Amino acid sequence: MREPVIAYVGIGANLGDAVATVRGAIERLGSLPQSHVMKASSLYRTAPHDAQGPDFVNAVAQLQTGLEADELLAHLQEIEQEAGRERPYRNAPRTLDLDLLLYAADRIDGAKLTVPHPRMRERAFVLVPLSEIAPQEVTAAQLAAVSGQRIEALPPA
């Protein structure tokens, strides 16, 4: 078994009580085996990007985990299921979406898992919360490239 690693999870919701769903997801991440939430970003209200429906609520959590990347993905999908997710079509509005953004410095290119998440660098709803808790992972140029996307921090609970 490898030493625990740092992983970043992107959290998004845009159906129902999205703020409560995102907060609940951060708590659930902290209850995963061999895992701790080290940091969680603010919650952000964001414009749908390549998607329809109401605004999203997004956040990013930093985990320390002893789970392998594929095990962590399986747990993320379980948490999505618990949140009652339905998938009528790709990028449909969803109650909860969890993406594994980064897993240590690993590069993974498998059938079920690609890390770093292939679309994360195009998305303000990932880069802004990620830069809040892990500024070393995001460059100023990357942030500038997504500055046209609407995103607004929500006040703390």
> Which active-site residues does the annotation give?
85, 94, 97, 99
Residue 119 makes CB contacts below 8 A (sequence gap 6+) with none
Quick check: 107 binds ligand A4P (CB under 6 A)?
no
Instruction: Out of 57, 76, 93, 97, name the contact with Mg ion by CB under 5 A.
Output: 97
Instruction: Out of 113, 143, 145, 154, name the contact with ligand A4P by CB under 6 A.
Output: 113
Nearer to ligand A4P, 37 or 46 (CB): 46
Instruction: Out of 2, 33, 50, 144, name the contact with ligand A4P by CB under 6 A.
Output: 50
Q: Are 96 and 83 in contact (CB under 8 A)?
A: yes
Instruction: Out of 48, 104, 121, 145, name the contact with ligand A4P by CB under 6 A.
Output: 48
Cα distance between the two ends of the chain: 38
**Residues in binding contact with ligand A4P, number by CB under 6 A:** 23
What are the strands, taking DSSP E only, across the chain? 5-13, 35-40, 44-46, 56-65, 97-103, 108-109, 114-115, 151-153
**Of 96, 93, 101, nearest in space to 85 by CA:** 96
Q: Where on the chain is the footprint of ligand A4P (CB under 6 A)?
A: 12, 46-51, 56, 58, 73, 87, 90-91, 97, 99-100, 112-115, 117, 119, 125
